[in-house]
Chain A
Amino acid sequence: MSQHAHLGADNIAHLTDEEKREHRKEIREVVLRPLRHTGWAGWLWIGFLSVIFLIGCYAYYLQLKNGLKVTGMRDYASWGLYISNFIFFVAISLVGALISSVLRLTSFDWYRPITRIAEIIAVSGVLFAGLIIIVDMGRPDRVLNLFIHGRIQSPIVWDVIIVSTYLTMSVLFLYIPLLPGIALCRDQLTEKPKWQRWMYKVLALNWNGSHKQWSMMKKSIAVICVLIIPLAISIHTVTAWLFATTLRPGWDSTNFGPYFVAGAFQAGTACVIIAMFAFRKVYGLQKYLTEVHFNQMGKLLVFLCLIYAYFNLNEYLVPAYKMRGAEGKLLNDLFTGHFAPLYWSVQIFGMALPALLLLWKRARKPLPIAIIAVFVVVAAWFKRYLIVTPIMLHPYTPIQGVPQAWTIYFPTWIEIAIVSASLAGVMLIITVFSKFFPIISIWETLENEGIELEEMDNPVK
């Protein structure tokens, strides 16, 4: 792989061994610095996220005690913020497969420093997806029924199987390429407390860079690469089928699987851009997360926005041409009615405008692109809400004879608190991970520059 063009990397394969070792030392120092030292801003950030998370836990306790009536959901809008949040998390978790695997199978090596960021986003995203779906259950005390009495015909059972499979696979995909990094921590971070050094020792699996270990590790990565792409596509297709297998106007669409997957790649990529920007700024990783990387990610984001726009066109223009019955009322509500401001903001600021702006090279610099990526992610979150709740408020039969509160949906503070806690939890996991493990894959970055760590570890005598 290192024979291919290294975009943005100076090919330093021509350096002497001594110079290569210096280079490696430098990158190790930079990457390990955040593990060694956390500034006051870091502690503040972790504290802030923890507080939000704890408030959410208290809100969940209230929900357990009083039942789901503490939410804004009722018989018509029976799925609300929790489900749209669930889809959002599943969506962003696909980016792990996209960047770590799809790009790995291509010849674009520039992405390699980013793989770990993408993978930790994927792992924490899919983990919290699983947690938030339990929050949405009316009887979480009966969750074991899913395993004792599970019906293989149900899309929810497919989702449970595939989410747990993808989580396992993503953890492996995060862990296995991390082995050299853990070994590095084990060897270099000698000032850390005993329990942490013990953790590195155990997790490092006696890694010492031998040929045998490198080859086993690379082979495993290759296997996961191949397997995780269909898994990632399946996880979001099955999640889309939670809606597409119903008869409701607005969900009863054959387009839903690919529509969701396209949106997932777009939203996930924007998440990675934001994380890249944050880590680059806070951890001083300018040399390894270079402007070239942001440039490439920007081009990727344009491409994904355009694909997503294509699926949006199919999803909304075709039914709008026909304006069938209840679907017509729903579309009117989205285009010109109650949901119009939100709908058009999401489409314009989350998809159309980013795609246009990012065509301009100046917009693909780190700061502008990060800002645009924030818009994309926020719009993506609201887009998931627009996919779930408005449809439920437009059933075939007119809504009559029910309390006024049942004809609309607005989340209560408990729902907002729990959803915020889940978002805080995802960011907390990512932050804490970056404090214990190198957030840049050193060996892959070096490979990108033409240095094979395997050769360095096993010098031919």
Chain B
Amino acid sequence: MVYNTRNNTSGISLKRIILLLVLSCLSVANGWAQDTKTATISLSYLQTDSTKTLKATVLSDNKPVKGPEIHLYVKRMFGMLPVGKAVATDTLGEALINFPMDLPGDKDGIINMVVKIEKDEIYGSVEVEGSAKWGSKPKGELSEWGARSLSASREKAPMTLVVVSIGLIIGVWGTVLWLIFQLFRIKKAGKQIKKATEAAI
């Protein structure tokens, strides 16, 4: 075959056809990708006496989705705690994740959680928040805080210490006051006698 090496811009060459094909394939694929199907996750909370299970149902266009991995996170003060392993949805679009029985919630026992699909090929990233009263009661404040103790503030001194110190202080300083009173009596006694001797003279 003789290749035409001249700069021939007229007509459609083989190179161009290949290029066009490739480009069109890419755009189709691109279109496919951009055309991410939107998926929604709905949560339901299944609880028995000894288990807590989160059921996440993934639907897209009201049809269950099989395959995407569901990640469960619990919202915490400084970040999100991953709970359990990622579970892929089954044919019904459902994924069951076990929730630990002893994870503390807030003071009312409520757990705020986030369920995510992360960077799925088809559905991208989806997340939904939920909350359930699944938290075990936190231990609350430090049990000793507010109680009377040696390390507490001045108002919360141990009772025995307060009683004994005040008792001792009153006892000793009472004596001091009595002694000072004696001094006044000595002074008065001297004045009386002086007056008496002066009167006698």
Contacts and interface: CB of A to CB of B under 8 A. Distances in A.
Contact of B194 (A206, A216, A219): A206
27 contacts: A152-B161, A153-B150, A153-B158, A168-B176, A169-B176, A172-B179, A176-B182, A179-B186, A205-B183, A205-B190, A206-B187, A206-B190, A206-B191, A206-B194, A207-B190, A208-B190, A208-B194, A210-B190, A213-B186, A213-B189, A213-B190, A220-B182, A220-B183, A223-B175, A223-B178, A224-B179, A227-B175
Nearest to A214: B186
The residue among A158, A208, A217, A224 with the most chain B CB atoms within 10 A of its own CB is A208
Given A176-B179, A216-B185, A149 B190 contact: no
Interface residues of B, number: 29
B131 interface: no
A337 interface: no
Nearest to B183: A205
A220 B181 CA distance: 10
Interface in A211-241: 212-213, 216-217, 219-220, 223-224, 227, 231
The main secondary structure of chain A at its interface with chain B is: helix
Interface string A148-191: 01111100001001000100110010001001000000000000
Given A165-B176, A216-B182, A223-B178, 15 more contacts: A151-B154, A152-B157, A153-B161, A165-B172, A176-B182, A176-B183, A179-B186, A205-B187, A206-B186, A208-B194, A210-B189, A213-B186, A213-B189, A216-B186, A217-B182
Interface in B97-156: 150-154
Contacts of B157: 151-153
A296 B162 CA distance: 43
A368 B175 CA distance: 42
B194 to A, nearest CB: 6
A223 B189 contact: no
A295 to B, nearest CB: 34
Contacts of A168: 176
Contacts of B151: 153
A179 B186 CA distance: 10
A205 B194 CA distance: 12
Contacts of B161: 152-153
Nearest to A212: B189
Contacts of A150: 154
A147 to B, nearest CB: 12
Which of B154, B176, B179, B187 is packed against the most chain A CB atoms within 10 Å?
Answer: B179
B190 A223 contact: no
A149 B193 contact: no
A165 B173 CA distance: 7
Contacts of A210: 189-190, 193
B16 to A, nearest CB: 72
A197 B30 CA distance: 114
B174 to A, nearest CB: 11
Contacts of B194: 206, 208
A3 to B, nearest CB: 26
B169 interface: yes
Contacts of B158: 153
Nearest to B155: A151
Nearest to A227: B175
B34 interface: no
Contacts of A206: 186-191, 194
A47 to B, nearest CB: 35
Contacts of A216: 182, 185-186, 189
B165 interface: yes
Contacts of B180: 172
Nearest to A173: B179
Contacts of A153: 150-152, 154, 157-158, 161
Given A168-B176, A220-B179, A151 B153 contact: yes
